[in-house]
Amino acid sequence: MLVNPKENAPNTNLNLSMQFHREIRFSLRGIKAPKILDYGASRGSSIEETASGLSVGYNPHLTEEELVRYHRYSPWWFTNVYPEDETFDITIASFSLHHTGKTPYESISGLKTNTDRIALAEYDFTKASLDDFNEAFIAGAEQDELFGMFGGDREVCFAYHNKFGVLDYLQALTANGFNYKSGRIGEGTARFKFFLIGEKPQ
């Protein structure tokens, strides 16, 4: 049975998001104007939540038309080419690494050379059922993904999202040289979501 997100979902997802960005701000304390890479950004929402200095929003799927439109109203720089020659105080990957088609280790390995910290939020449907998935995968962006990428096929979408979980990403962080600093698993509708923040040794 599908759950109506308007009636059941907003608070637990919002709470986890607020906790995520609060922990990001805490990890950047003492840095006057942190440089942030929002990996997979559509409109730089993670940058906006973090209130940074010099920041970049990267999404390989942004069209030239979207780039022009974003640059008209945003103080941040957006690009569809990975800024491999830039260095960042933190890279934020909010529900974007699973779109790379790579393992958690490979995804984080591709980011580690030009960032001091990684803050990632992802799904953990590894022990969930299809019914669990249908009840939880109901946010607006998730429904856009379900119908935009998978044509509304919930079984295929579920199979795509249940390959890796929190332990896989935690192990990938540490294996790539980041110390675990903070993290949380969501509750309620957000119980299949989590965030982790890792930092390179000083």
Over residues 57-116, the pLDDT tens digits come to 899 888 999 888 888 877 778 899 999 899 999 999 999 999 999 999 999 999 998 999
Q: For residues 194 and 196, what is the distance between their CA atoms, to the nearest angstrom?
A: 7
Return the CATH superfamily for domain 5-199.
Answer: Vaccinia Virus protein VP39 (3.40.50.150)
Residues in the chain: 202
Average confidence (pLDDT) over 131-145: 92
pLDDT tens by residue, 154-192:
999 999 999 999 999 999 999 999 999 999 999 988 999
Query: What's the predicted TM-score (pTM) here?
Result: 0.87
For residue 92, what are the β-bridge partners? 38, 119
Q: What is the pLDDT of residues 33-67, one digit of tens each?
A: 899 999 987 655 555 555 555 688 899 888 999 88
- DSSP string of 101-112? -S-HHHHHHTTG
Share of the chain above pLDDT 90, in %: 64
Question: pLDDT tens, 110-128?
Answer: 999 899 999 999 999 999 9
In 3-state terms the chain splits into helix, strand, coil percentages (rounded to 5) of: 45, 20, 35
Cα–Cα separations (whole angstroms), residue 162 to 92, 96, 102, 192: 21, 14, 13, 10
- The predicted pLDDT at position 3 comes to 33
Plot region of 125 (φ>0 → left; ψ -120 to 50 → alpha; else → beta): alpha
Q: Which residues contact 95 (CB under 8 A, 6 or more apart)?
A: 40, 121, 122, 123, 141, 193
Inter-residue contact 178 to 27 (CB < 8 Å): no
- Please state whether beta strands 36-39 and 55-58 pair in parallel, antiparallel, or not at all (unpaired): parallel
- Residue 5: its pLDDT value, please? 38
Give 23-41 pLDDT, tens digit per residue.
Answer: 999 999 989 889 999 998 7
